[in-house]
Structure 1
Amino acid sequence: MTTLRELLNVDYPVIQAPMAGVQDSALTIAVSKAGGLGSLPCAMLTGEKIREEIANIRAATDRPFNLNFFCHTQPPEDPEKEAAWRQSLQPYYQELRLEMNEDAGGPGRRPFDEQTADLVAELKPAVVSFHFGLPAPDLVAHIKSNGVKVLASATTVAEALWLEERGADAIIAQGLEAGGHRGHFLSDDLGLHMGIFALLPRITSRVKLPVIAAGGIASSEGVKAAIQLGATAAQVGTAYLLCTEAKTSAIHRAALQSQQASHTEITNVFSGRPARGIDNRLIREQGPISLRVPDFPNAAAALAPLRSEAEKLGKGDFSPLWAGQNTMGCEEISAGEMTLRLAGFE
C-alpha cells in the first residue's frame, strides 16, 4: 500500500480537512509543521488572497500543503426561486428589525476555472484537492504537468471510479459522518451515501489509487482503523475546530462544547447544497432539506444579514455550525499537538 510519505512527502498519515469560514493559513501551517498535510480552503478566496496566504505558509514552513477548490457548476439565475426563498426568510428579518437588501450577501464560492488553474500552475503547491468532482480534463492536465498532485472527494464507488479515470492521484472517500459539504457530484441521492467504514473497503477493492478516509475520524484509533481497512491516510476536520489556530467563532466553539453538538443534520438551507452541521433554529424551521432553497451557492446571500445580526446578539440561529457526527476529539489545544495525537503520539 502506498504511504502518505511516498505519495506526498508527509511524515504522518493525517490530512487536515479544508474548512472554509473557520480557518486561514495559520491552521495549515501548524498541521504541516507538525508532519501532517495542512490544507487551505480557497473557493471563497480571491487570487490575491490565495497568493497572500501561500506567502504566509512558505514563510513559516517548507513542508507540503494542500490547496482546496470547488468544482461546482454555477447555476443559472432563478428569480422566482430566489424571491420565494427571501419571502420565507422575511419573518426573521422582521424579528431582528432588519430591512431586506437584495444586493446584500457574504463572499461567494467560485468554481475552479482556467484563471485559477494558471495561478496554481504558477504557485506550484505540492497538492491540490477538489470537492464536487474534477475540473475540465485540460485544467487537470495543466495542473499535473507542473508536478502538483491531485486529490478529489468521492461519496460512492461510482464517483471513485470516475475520479480514477479522469486523472486523480488519490481519492478521498467521504463517509456520511463527515462535517461540512457533501462531496457528491454524480447523483443527488443521499440514500446512496454510507458511513466511512462501510464505504472505505468498497472503494479500495475497486480502484488502484491510494484512498484517504474521511468522516467521523477524530482519534489515533480512528486513523489506525482506517489504515487497517486499506486507507493510505485519514482526513480529519471536526477535531481541529477548537484548536488555537482555528478561526472558529465563539458561537461555533460554544456549540461544539455543548450537548447541542450531539445532534447534527445534513441540510441544504445554508448554501443550497447538502452539508452536515450542528442542529439549530434555521435547520429545524426551514429544513433540514428544503425545496425552496436556491441552488448552490446562491442560498447564502439572503442569510448573511440574519447571521450577522443574530451573532451580534450571541445567537447561532442562522449560522452554519459545520461539524461531523463525532465531536469527541475536539480540544482547545494547538493544531500541531492535535496532529501528533491523531498520528498516535499522545
Structure 2
Amino acid sequence: MEQTFDVTALQYPFPCATNPHAAEVESKIGGWIKAHYDFLPEKVKKKYMHTGVGLAAGCMFPRADIHQLTAICRFYLWAFIVDDSFEYASVEEIHRIQDKSMPVLKGHDVLPDSALNHQLLILRRELMMFASESWMNRFCRNLEFYFEGVVMEIPYRKDLCFPSFETFYDIRERSVNVHPLVNLAEAITGISLPDNIAYHPVMQEIAQLTCRILACCNDLLSAFLEKGHDVLNLVLMLEHNKKCSLKEAYHEALQIHDKDVTRMWELKNNLPDFGIYTETVNAYIENLELMIRGHLYWTQLYTERYKSNNGHPSGELKADQLKVDQLKITV
C-alpha cells in the first residue's frame, strides 16, 4: 500500500535545527551494530545502517554536545532494536528483558548478561557524566513505563483487536517510549530539575503532550504500512471505530495532532513562575519543541524507516522472532 497522507500537512510553530555533531556520531553507528549487535539477522543490520540513528538524534537534540549526543544515540539504537525485536514477544519474554535490563541501568551490582544489557552499562556511565541521580531515577521509571506499555499492547496486537480509545491512549503514551526522550531534553540543559518542578502538573501535561504529538505524527506517517498488520495506530483506530474512510481518518487524526500542538504552545507561553529554575524550564521546553520539529525533519529527509516496508525491519524480525536466550554473550 502506498503512502496516501500528505506529510506537508504536519505544521509546527516550533524552530528547526540540526546538531553539528550528528554526522560524526552517525559514522559510529555502523561500528556499534557490527560490534555489539551481531545477533541480528544480516538484513536487519543493513536496515539499521540506513535508519539514520545519529541523524535522528542530531535533528531532535540539536543543542546536545558531542558527549550528550553519543549517549542519546546509544539509547536510540538500543530502544529501536528492543522495540523492533520484541514487538511480537510474549508477556513473559518482555518481563524477562525488563528484569534483566533495568538493574543494569539503575546501577545495581549486577553483570550484564547480553549485548543489549552491556550497552545499558555503558549508557549509564555516559548519562551520569551530565545528569544527576534523581534525574536517572526518573529516566528509569519512564523506561519501566515503556515496558508496561509493550506488555499492554500484546493481546491487542496478537489478535488484531482494536482497544477502546481510552485504553489506546493509555497504552500509546507508554509504548511510544517518548518519556525517556523528554527526560533527555531536560538533561542536556545541564541542570537537573528537582522532582517538585519536574512533576508539576503543567510540566507533566507538557511531557504528555510531547508524547501524544510524536506518537500521532508517527501514526500518520506509518498507518499505510501498518494497515491490516497492526491495530495500535491512531489513524487505524479512527478508521475502525468511526467506520470512515482512511482519508477521513487521516484528517481527523491530523486535527487531534494540531489540537495538541496548540495546547502545548499555549502552556509554553503561560508558564507558572518557577523561580530560580525558570530559565532552565524555558530551555527544557525549547528542547522539546526542537525535538518535535526535528523528528519530522528526520523522517522527511534522513530515514527510510517510514517510507516503505523495505525500510522497516519488522518483517524480518517477525519471520524470525528473536528470543531473549539468543542474546546471551560473555562480557
TM-score (norm 2): 0.30
RCO higher in structure (CA 8 A, sep ≥6) = 2
Q: Which structure has more helix as a fraction of its residues? A: 2
The structure carrying a bigger strand percent of its residues is: 1
